[in-house]
Amino acid sequence: MSNGLKKRIVKEIKVDLDKCIGCRACEMACSGFHAVPKFSSTNPARSRIRVIIEDRKDVYVPVRAGDYAQAECNCRNSYVINGKEYSECSFCTVSCSTRDLFKDPDSGLPLKCDMCADDPTLPEPMCVQVCCCDALTYVEREEEGENEVGPRGEIEVGLESLVNRFGIDKVVDLVSQLSKTK
Amino acid sequence: MRYAETGFDLEIDLSRGSIDRVETDPELSRLHLGGQGTAAKILWDRVPPEVDPLDPENLLIFSTGLLQSTPVPGANRTAVDTFSPQTGFYSHSLFGGFFGPELKYAGYDKIIFRGKASDLVYLWINNDKVEIRDASHLRGKGAQETALILKEEVGEPNAQVAAIGIAGENRVYMASIEHANSSASRGVGVIMGDKRIKAIIVRGTKDVNVAQPKELAEISIPMYRKMYDNKDCGDSMAHGEGDAFHVDNFAWGNARTRRSEFFSKEMENDWLSLEDKLRQRWTGCHNCPKDCHQAIKYPGRMPYFQKCYSKLTYAMGAFGDLDFDYNIIGITQEYGMDAYSTPQTIAFAIELYEAGILTDKDLPDFPGPDGETVEGYKVNEARFFYLVERIARREGIGDVLANGIYAAARQIGNGAEAYDHNTIKKFEQVPIKLGYVNFPYFLMYATGEKMNITQIEGSFPQAPIADKAERAEFVKNWDAAPERFKKWFMEWEPRQNPSLEASVHICDWNETMHYVDDAIGTCAFLSSFRGQFGGRPPYHIYNLPAFITHATGIEFDTDGLWEVARRNRNLIRALNVRRGLSRVDEKPPANHWKKREPETEQKLLDMYYEFKGWNNDGIPTKETLDKLGLEYVSNDFIQRGILPECEGDQS
Ligand code: SF4
Ligand code: SF4
Ligand code: SF4
Ligand code: SF4
């Protein structure tokens, strides 16, 4: 590829806030799909998509878990859309220290949407499959762009948060210990 | 490991302030499933008939359905069970939304309240941490206002709240329990208030496990799309079908007047466009693809959710219009009042006033006289606003009306009893007055224990299909129906009653499906209530066993499921029999139909009792009870002299 650009598939989940009925089926499907074995348990607190609902304000915002951040951001946004006020953090995908979303309820480790990566590949991500009213829709398109590194996996994100919490030395020690015993 | 359920109940003694997490017997799930079924067992064991519903020893039980919080879509109904001071009998209500699922994720299948707090409290359940907290700052607050305050107070925007309004606080018999987009009515809010529980707030972040995940997911995931595409499930009457069904067929005022000429196409369009204006969105309940609940923003009112036919109950009770109804629900839902019983009680009071039985002395400054408008409202609408305030606060005549129509009529006296013409077992019924007695409906009304016909009817179609070919087509793909009903439906001609035998079975099948739903938590709009319109409910007696088996790991087939429903039905009947229920109570309002067939009706009742294995006073026989493993009930009946010592002389 002479120009250094490469075609890549961009996967996108479109969110239409007006169509969301607040049923939380997406949370159920996501947490079920990521249970081991698959669907052996459900627990919305483990879901990588959460629907932020403030029902008296007509606020319904499905948000998928993005990156982990060690600390809260220093400049939060709040939005008013069509006269409706959305609380700060409503649209934020970050697993950050200020919220209990997107953290595993047992380990506290951050959760991140992996687009339901699986073998064989799902026709559509689980959350989209169960969202019949099309509040969530799945689009794939080709884009030309820098051949960049793929999205960071769960292990990387999890490890990084452990490093942040306990320091690199402790984590390295533990990993070498584990590698001896396992 | 326990599957589908957590295996733990939360026992709260409000008098002592104690909180216990109690492991439950897994055998009970096999016998009763969960929800209403296991709640009935607890009520039987722990609330003898000597306990008055307003005694501290009465229990108030919130039960998750067995399939709640599993991947099975649309299983979100929470049952509330207790004994009612209005009827003296078992009181049962269901609500949807998100409360039950959250409770299960917190690690509990049920909350069982006993005793009474000395002052208003709320219960805060945060997984394993459970606290009874002072709620005096919430006194007088609206139900949803309370929810908002509590979520803020505990700092958990994702928590779920069930709360009472002032009606419950004031022990109004038609008080409801309000939660998110749903409410529980039919006599449970008064007990919550009597126990001084303003609210329950729950947050849960634990797993709920299922036994056979692969098999369960395989049948559950496709259900979302099936339900979504199925026009014959969900609340289609709330949703797009328009209001003609209720407006034309239900009675107005104090359940007397049909206005079949009233509703024009133009009016219907006006109403639909008013709704479009007031509605912010349609919403669903937990894990369900349907969207039966309208989020309503009425000027000057707290935003609220409207469901079922409540958008017309006040309007029709007041001979008012849709705008009035949406206006007044904005108040009554915050006060926490049952949208069926409340408007009927008010319409009853207005009739008494018009008849001179209630006077200006009872109703000082009552809006009127007829024909005037009061501050832009029709007179009766203004009277509704007036009476809602009196009843919710038990002020003046409101204190009497708050006991429900049956008791109020007797307290008022002076001929008021004649105006109590639409109650069964002392409970207000849906205002329906029809022409000719309908056999299956006669049985459902007479023998039902869930107090409202919508909780009993629903699997067999309400009306026959005239065209034979269409009829055959309908029957061909009628997966929900046991074979015998296909034959009976084929034989059913317009303006006829099904045969007596068919009528008995229709009543049995209809109620059976509700007993199944109310134990496993599936919504009636996806199951027991929906077969009657269109015959294609997503859940039915043939496909539900697989869902239950895969979720719980307990083997169920259709017969097994039917047997559990029968066990629960008999146990609930036993609760009421022990409180004095007998054949004399089992009758629809005298004027429910213009033309009756008294002899045939009594014959029907005989046949139904016999079919059910009950004696001719409607009491389950020892043989019936013992076959269902309810020996402890038959023993109790014999001890109490309800059943004779020797099976032979039962009659
Ligand atoms: S499944 Fe769709 S409609 Fe339901 S809460 Fe999630 S995004 Fe909203
Ligand atoms: S959740 Fe809120 S505080 Fe945290 S990163 Fe996002 S916007 Fe900032
Ligand atoms: S795409 Fe998959 S992992 Fe991501 S939120 Fe949806 S269900 Fe969860
Ligand atoms: S069918 Fe309607 S009422 Fe029933 S659970 Fe679904 S959204 Fe709620």
Tens of pLDDT along B115-147? 999 999 999 999 999 999 999 999 999 999 999
Q: Which one of A115, A128, A130 would you pick to mutate in the ligand 3 pocket, going by the greatest count of ligand atoms within 8 A of its CB? A: A115
Judge whether B636 and B601 are in contact, CB under 8 Å: no
| Tens-digit pLDDT profile for residues A7-58 | 888 899 999 999 999 999 999 999 999 999 999 999 999 999 999 999 999 9
Ligand nearest to the CA of A96: 2
CB B599: neighbour CB atoms within 10 A? 8
Write out the H or E segment, with its range, that includes residue B61.
strand B60-64
| pLDDT value, residue B385 | 97
Task: Tokens for B361, please give them.
Answer: 């002395």
Interior/surface letters B72-85, b for 16+ CB within 10 angstroms, e for the rest:
bbbbbbbbbbbbbb
A-B C-beta contacts closer than 8 Å: 109
- As a whole number of angstroms, the distance between CA B447 and CA B608 comes to 9
Judge whether B518 and B61 are in contact, CB under 8 Å: no
- Centroid of ligand 1 to alpha carbon of B290 (angstroms): 11
pLDDT band at A3 (very low <50, low <70, confident <90, very high): low
Q: Is the CB of B76 under 6 A from ligand 4?
A: yes
ipTM over the 0.90 cut-off = yes
Cβ-based neighbours of A177, under 8 Å, separated by 6 or more: none
- As a whole number of angstroms, the distance between CA A95 and CA A105 comes to 13
| pLDDT value, residue A70 | 81
Cβ-in-10-Å burial (0-12, 13-18, 19+) of B650 comes to middle
Cβ-based neighbours of A156, under 8 Å, separated by 6 or more: none
Residue B56 predicted with pLDDT over 50 = yes
pLDDT band at A146 (very low <50, low <70, confident <90, very high): low
Nearest to A37 among B205, B213, B286 (CB): B213
- As a whole number of angstroms, the distance between CA B61 and CA B82 comes to 6
Mean pLDDT of B577-600: 97
| pLDDT value, residue B308 | 82
Mean pLDDT of B153-179: 97
Residue A131 predicted with pLDDT over 80 = yes
Residue B449 predicted with pLDDT over 50 = yes
Query: Are A32 and B297 inside 8 Å of each other by CB?
Result: no
Q: Whose CA is nearest to atom 2 of ligand 1?
A: A131
Contacts of A18 in chain B (CB under 8 A): 281
| pLDDT value, residue B647 | 56
B226 has a chain A CB within 8 A of its CB = no
- As a whole number of angstroms, the distance between CA B492 and CA B311 comes to 34
- As a whole number of angstroms, the distance between CA B613 and CA B239 comes to 41
Atom of ligand 1 nearest to the CA of A60: 8
Residue B68 predicted with pLDDT over 90 = yes
A148 has a chain B CB within 8 A of its CB = no
| pLDDT value, residue A160 | 76
A82 has a chain B CB within 8 A of its CB = no
Q: Which one of A34, A64, A93, A137 would you pick to mutate in the ligand 3 pocket, going by the greatest count of ligand atoms within 8 A of its CB? A: A64
Q: Whose CA is nearest to atom 7 of ligand 4?
A: B284
Residue A149 predicted with pLDDT over 80 = no
CB B637: neighbour CB atoms within 10 A? 21
Nearest to B224 among A20, A60, A130 (CB): A130
The pair phi, psi for residue B17, each rounded to 5°, is 75, 25
Task: Tokens for B193, please give them.
Answer: 């208030």
Task: Tokens for B519, please give them.
Answer: 């134990």
Judge whether B180 and A55 are in contact, CB under 8 Å: yes
- As a whole number of angstroms, the distance between CA B162 and CA B178 comes to 6
Nearest to B71 among A42, A60, A129 (CB): A42
> B30 vs B103, B484, B540, B555, CA distance in Å?
21, 27, 19, 9
DSSP structure class, residue B161: E
Q: How far is A56 from chain B (nearest CA, A)?
A: 6
Residue with tokens 């299948």, as numbered in its chain: B109
Q: Is the CB of A126 under 6 A from ligand 3?
A: yes
Higher pLDDT, B261 or B497: B497
Contacts of A35 in chain B (CB under 8 A): 207, 213
Q: How far is A25 from chain B (nearest CA, A)?
A: 4
Mean pLDDT of B532-541: 96
- As a whole number of angstroms, the distance between CA B384 and CA B406 comes to 19
| pLDDT value, residue A97 | 84
Mean pLDDT of B353-362: 97
Which domains are assigned to chain B?
8-203 (3.60.9.10), 232-428 (1.10.569.10), 438-640 (1.10.599.10)
| pLDDT value, residue A164 | 77
- Centroid of ligand 1 to alpha carbon of B641 (angstroms): 56
pLDDT band at A124 (very low <50, low <70, confident <90, very high): very high
Helix, strand or coil, per DSSP, at residue B421: coil
CA-wise closest residue to A11 among A122, A163, A85: A122
Distance between the two ends of chain A, CA-based, in angstroms?
43
Contacts of A55 in chain B (CB under 8 A): 180-181, 283, 295, 303, 305
Q: Is the CB of B530 under 6 A from ligand 4?
A: no
pLDDT band at B651 (very low <50, low <70, confident <90, very high): very low
Name the closest residue on chain B to residue A84, using Cα atoms.
Answer: B280
Distance between the two ends of chain B, CA-based, in angstroms?
47
Q: Is the CB of A59 under 6 A from ligand 1?
A: no
Atom of ligand 4 nearest to the CA of B284: 7
| pLDDT value, residue B100 | 98
pLDDT band at A1 (very low <50, low <70, confident <90, very high): very low
Which of B173-177, B192-196, B264-268 shows the lowest mean pLDDT across its residues?
Answer: B264-268
Predicted model pTM: 0.95
CA-wise closest residue to B337 among B530, B143, B517, B613: B143
Task: Tokens for B399, please give them.
Answer: 């204190």
Residue with tokens 């045939």, as numbered in its chain: B600
pLDDT band at A152 (very low <50, low <70, confident <90, very high): low
User: Among residues 110-129 of chain A, which lie with CB inside 8 Å of chain B?
Assistant: 129
Q: Is the CB of B523 under 6 A from ligand 4?
A: yes
Q: Is the CB of A116 under 6 A from ligand 3?
A: yes
Contacts of A29 in chain B (CB under 8 A): 71, 221
Name the closest residue on chain B to residue A57, using Cα atoms.
Answer: B303
Kindly calculate the radius of gyration of chain B based on its CA atoms and give it in whole angstroms. Answer: 24
Task: Tokens for B358, please give them.
Answer: 């209630």
| pLDDT value, residue B2 | 96
Residue B646 predicted with pLDDT over 80 = no
- Centroid of ligand 2 to alpha carbon of A64 (angstroms): 13
CA-wise closest residue to B326 among B254, B250, B392, B273: B273
Ligand nearest to the CA of A52: 1
Mean pLDDT estimate for chain B? 96
Judge whether B180 and B307 are in contact, CB under 8 Å: no
The pair phi, psi for residue B159, each rounded to 5°, is -70, 160
Task: Tokens for B28, please give them.
Answer: 């009970």
Q: Where are the domains of chain A?
A: 6-148, 152-182
Task: Tokens for B608, please give them.
Answer: 């139904």
Query: Are B283 and A22 inside 8 Å of each other by CB?
Result: yes
Percent of chain B with pLDDT over 70: 99
Mean pLDDT of B530-543: 96
| pLDDT value, residue A142 | 87
Query: Are B287 and A25 inside 8 Å of each other by CB?
Result: yes
B214 has a chain A CB within 8 A of its CB = yes
Strand partners, B83: B90
Kindly calculate the radius of gyration of chain A based on its CA atoms and give it in whole angstroms. Answer: 18
> For residue B537, is the peptide bond before it cis, meaning its omega torsion is within 30 degrees of 0?
no
Nearest to B217 among A20, A39, A100 (CB): A39
| pLDDT value, residue B650 | 46
| Tens-digit pLDDT profile for residues B225-244 | 999 999 999 987 777 677 88
Angle between helices B558-577 and B35-46 (to 10 degrees): 30
Select the residue from A130, A133, A136 to test the B interface by mutation, using most B Cβ atoms within 10 A.
A130
pLDDT band at B455 (very low <50, low <70, confident <90, very high): very high
| pLDDT value, residue B528 | 96
- As a whole number of angstroms, the distance between CA B544 and CA B485 comes to 19
Judge whether B213 and B553 are in contact, CB under 8 Å: no
| Tens-digit pLDDT profile for residues B380-424 | 999 999 999 999 999 999 999 999 999 999 999 999 999 999 999
Query: Are A37 and B207 inside 8 Å of each other by CB?
Result: no
Percent of chain B with pLDDT over 90: 93
> B483 vs B224, B345, B475, B480, B530, CA distance in Å?
27, 43, 10, 10, 18
Query: Are B285 and A23 inside 8 Å of each other by CB?
Result: yes
Judge whether A62 and A26 are in contact, CB under 8 Å: yes
* DSSP per-residue letters across B58-109: S-EEEEE-TTTTSS-TTB-PEEEEEE-TTTSSEEEEEE-TTHHHHHHHTT-S
> B306 vs B255, B296, B303, B327, B526, CA distance in Å?
22, 7, 10, 11, 19
Q: Is the CB of A67 under 6 A from ligand 2?
A: no
- As a whole number of angstroms, the distance between CA B23 and CA B648 comes to 41
